[in-house]
Amino acid sequence: MKAVRGSPIITAIDIGTTKICVLIAQQLDDHHVEIIGVGKTPSLGLARGVVVDIAPAVHSIKTALQEAEIMAGIAVESAYIGISGGHISSFNSHGMVPIKHGEIRQLDIQSVLSAAKAVPLQEGQQLLHALPQFFTIDNQHIVRDPLGMYGVRLEANVHLISGAVASVQNLIRCCTMAGVKVQDIILEQLASADAVLSDDERELGVGVLDIGGGTSDFAVYQQGNIRYTKVFLIAGNVFTHDVAVCLRTTVKDAERIKKEYGIADASLFNHNTPITVDMVHGQDQHTVMTSDLLAVLESRAQELLLLLKKEIDTQQLRSYLHAGIVLTGGGSLLHGIKEQAEAILQMPVRIGRPRVPAGFKESLDNPIYATGYGLLMHTLRRNRGAAGQQGLGGPFITQVFSRMKSWVFDFF
């Protein structure tokens, strides 16, 4: 397939705690894109997915954006961005409406979704996504897309995701100051899932844990649709901080030895070797043992995975996870975390890499790009819904999303 002159350009910006990643792509068809520009730079001004200092955050976005624009040979005007952080919350809701004409029409679907969304939110929170899970007709038939069917009463189960107004506005402001208009804001675990999960996994039931720098984002899918989402505040930067504190080294050197020598499972530990690291003041060096590094990383990995296990058990999600768990994000590259997850969760675990086009396989075939590439795939998936090609995400889903994003811009 070749890109067609004048075909749509899609830009995704993954604004993470440790990195800013910009992907510019040209849409080939409803399912494929050709990536024409990539930009990546260390992230400044963010902590746990939230902007804490606007100026350095804007500078980081500009730097990554310019790198991608130079490669693509075009100037970016608008983009889709991902969002995460401890301010994100989610819950399931239920709506019901009577069918006046027997046949279920578009207006009936919109009405039942509106009824499901009509719930009180915490102060300072606004709705980001309303994701239909399934519909029920006359309390008997569970369907994915009820349009055109007959019944007396239509019900909908919807997964609602909200975020702090201030956090969302700060992300938008950073992009605006960097010269980019935000087209939409997408929850990062939804994007990551679109990058790494297969259709069979979505259908059978699977969980995806995106271990980023500031947060670890969890999502559960079954029968092709979202069932549950959760954000954990234990992530890659916490691992690095632990190493720096316990081994009395700089944060920069702690990140280096975590990547080069880190192991999260003692069963994979072969032999104890010395590592030379910078001391905290950065002028001298001292020696630590790989066994010390193992003790720090294994303990923190176990804490994260035990939190995940508790969430799965408390929310009774295990029956949804027939295909197991997919780990992605930069934290999934920690040696032994897959084996540790299998032991603690007692289910199949694999490392998820984005399903990128062949031309960019070498440069983007890495879990750290799951969110960025997933933002592109999520946009395509949603746009396909406008043509009724996404099952549950039929024509109504695009309208739901467009209404979800509109609130963001009403503040300006």
* pTM as predicted: 0.85
- CATH code (residue 244): 3.30.420.40
Q: How far is CA 329 from CA 86, 143, 146, 357, in A?
A: 17, 33, 36, 19
- Domain contains 150: yes
Q: How many CB atoms lie within 10 A of CB 298?
A: 22
Domain residue limits at 279 = 236-296
CA gap 208, 217 in Å, rounded: 8
374 Cβ contact list (under 8 Å, min separation 6): 188, 190, 191, 192, 193, 194, 195, 196, 354
- Domain contains 290: yes
Predicted pLDDT of residue 358: 66
- Domain contains 99: yes
Our count of domains for the chain comes to 2
- Domain contains 176: no
- CATH code (residue 157): 3.30.1490.110
Q: Flag residues of the chain having pLDDT under 50.
A: 1-4, 386-412
Predicted pLDDT of residue 363: 67
- Domain contains 382: no
Among 296, 322, 342, the domain-final residue is 296
- Domain contains 352: no
CA gap 191, 169 in Å, rounded: 20
Predicted pLDDT of residue 404: 42
Predicted pLDDT of residue 261: 92
Among 278, 296, 314, the domain-final residue is 296
- Domain contains 255: yes
Predicted pLDDT of residue 397: 40
- Domain contains 148: yes
Among 163, 182, 217, the domain-final residue is 163
Predicted pLDDT of residue 32: 82
State the residue for tokens 């709705």.
Answer: 127
Strand segments, DSSP code E, in 297-341 are: 325-328
